[in-house]
């Protein structure tokens, strides 16, 4: 059976998810967003028959089997909950929600409804990331001691709803750092965080118009101590996040691994002083297609997707703990 999808949102991420869904053989039957004219343009670009500014009616339509939530972060919880209540499967972009409490409610609702809930942690589907995970799990590098990950934009930062804390829930950490956090966790075999500490702040941008209380961060360092998976010493991870940084020490989600048997990183060719060429597409369609194929298959089989609700929940739990830690340090 070909699944029929509805897409909420018409921005960059919804474009990628829509292209991935169509490439995977799904039918996208509707798109909805706040501005009807932008939804109509998106529908025309992707050959989608129906567009609307009424997302509630879209997710409850009888001809929709699954919903892609690609809207601003503040809408992830209400839209996912509505879709699950209507009996739909959901792929929600990261962060899963604005708070751990919301994400927990979403995970519980999906389980109660018997629906698939997948979260947009797409780096778990990238070939280079999987290759390093397999090297680690094989024992090739010995015991992993520490990782260092990057979630940074150099010379650039987003605008619009990304810098409005009421819509985003934070800044570069919840936008970019969360990718590096989840990538480190995936590489290590998905341990849970035993302790999280962080120093996070504003350094480069002026967000006063949308963020008069200084809640949008564009520079931060997070330290995670992971619980051991084998009874031995746990691994610690350092994650750097930021917008408008003067240097790119590693591309998005790049992670270095320091182990008793050596050192490795996901993209060793793209380091400080060696940025990727203009022709290189880092957020390529292939990993989104792989994630979409996993999501669609799990909708049919009832199995758990690689980027599960638990994955999204643990990543958000670490981000929330990091923000809390940083506030405590500054107070």
Q: In the chain, how many domains are there?
A: 2
pLDDT at 275: 87
Q: Reading across the β-sheet that carries 27-32, which strands appear in turn?
A: 50-52, 27-32, 4-8, 66-69, 89-93, 117-120
Of 124, 254, 267, the residue nearest 180 (C-alpha): 254
Output the pTM of the full model: 0.96
259 touches 140 (CB < 8 A): no
118 touches 91 (CB < 8 A): yes
Give mean pLDDT in consecutive 10-residue pieces for the chain, a chain of 331 residues: 94 97 96 94 97 96 98 98 98 98 98 98 98 98 98 96 97 98 98 98 94 95 96 95 95 98 97 90 95 98 98 98 89 54
Q: Tell whether 185 and 319 lie within a shared domain.
A: yes
Break the chain down into helix, strand, coil percent, rounded to 5: 40, 25, 35
Cα separation, 78 vs 109, whole angstroms: 12
pLDDT at 193: 98
Q: Residue 214 — left, alpha, or beta (φ > 0 → left; ψ -120 to 50 → alpha)? A: left
- Among 81, 115, 149, the domain-final residue is 115
Q: Tell whether 134 and 264 lie within a shared domain.
A: yes
pLDDT at 26: 95
pLDDT at 1: 75
- Among 83, 115, 147, the domain-final residue is 115
CATH number at residue 233: 3.30.360.10
150 touches 127 (CB < 8 A): no
- Among 88, 115, 142, the domain-final residue is 115
Q: Tell whether 61 and 159 lie within a shared domain.
A: no
Q: Give me the domain span that covers residue 72.
A: 4-115
CATH number at residue 19: 3.40.50.720
pLDDT at 328: 84
| Phi, psi torsion values for 149, nearest 5 degrees | -125, 160
Residue 305 lies in a domain: no
């Amino acid at each position: 059976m070909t699944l029929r999808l509805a897409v909420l949102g018409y921005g960059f991420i919804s474009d990628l998810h829509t292209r991935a869904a169509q490439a995977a053989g799904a039918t996208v039957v509707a798109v909805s967003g706040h501005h009807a004219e932008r939804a109509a343009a998106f529908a025309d670009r992707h050959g989608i028959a129906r567009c609307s500014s009424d997302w509630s009616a879209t997710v409850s339509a009888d001809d929709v089997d699954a919903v892609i939530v690609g809207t601003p972060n503040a809408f992830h919880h209400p839209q996912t909950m509505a879709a699950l209540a209507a009996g739909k499967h959901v792929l929600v972009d990261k962060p899963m929600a604005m708070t751990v409490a919301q994400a927990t409610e979403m995970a519980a609702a999906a389980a109660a409804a018997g629906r698939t809930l997948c979260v947009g942690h797409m780096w778990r589907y990238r070939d280079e990331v999987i290759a390093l995970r397999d090297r680690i799990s094989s024992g090739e590098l010995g015991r992993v001691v520490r990782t260092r990950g990057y979630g940074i934009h150099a010379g650039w930062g987003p605008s619009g709803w990304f810098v409005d804390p009421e819509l985003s829930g934070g800044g570069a950490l919840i936008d970019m750092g969360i990718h590096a956090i989840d990538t480190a966790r995936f590489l290590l075999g998905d341990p849970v965080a035993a302790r999280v500490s962080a120093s996070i702040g504003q350094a480069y941008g002026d967000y006063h118009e949308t963020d008069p209380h200084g809640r949008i961060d564009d520079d931060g360092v997070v330290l995670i101590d992971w619980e051991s998976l084998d009874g031995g010493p746990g691994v610690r991870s350092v994650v750097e996040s930021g917008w408008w940084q003067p240097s790119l020490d590693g591309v998005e989600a790049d992670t270095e691994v320091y182990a008793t048997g050596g050192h490795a990183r996901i993209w060793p060719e793209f380091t400080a002083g060696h940025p990727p060429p203009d022709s290189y597409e880092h957020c390529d369609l292939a990993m989104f297609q792989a994630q979409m194929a996993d999501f669609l298959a799990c909708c049919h089989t009832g199995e758990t997707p690689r980027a599960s609700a638990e994955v999204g929940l643990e990543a958000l739990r670490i981000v929330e703990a990091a923000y809390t830690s940083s506030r405590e340090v500054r107070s």
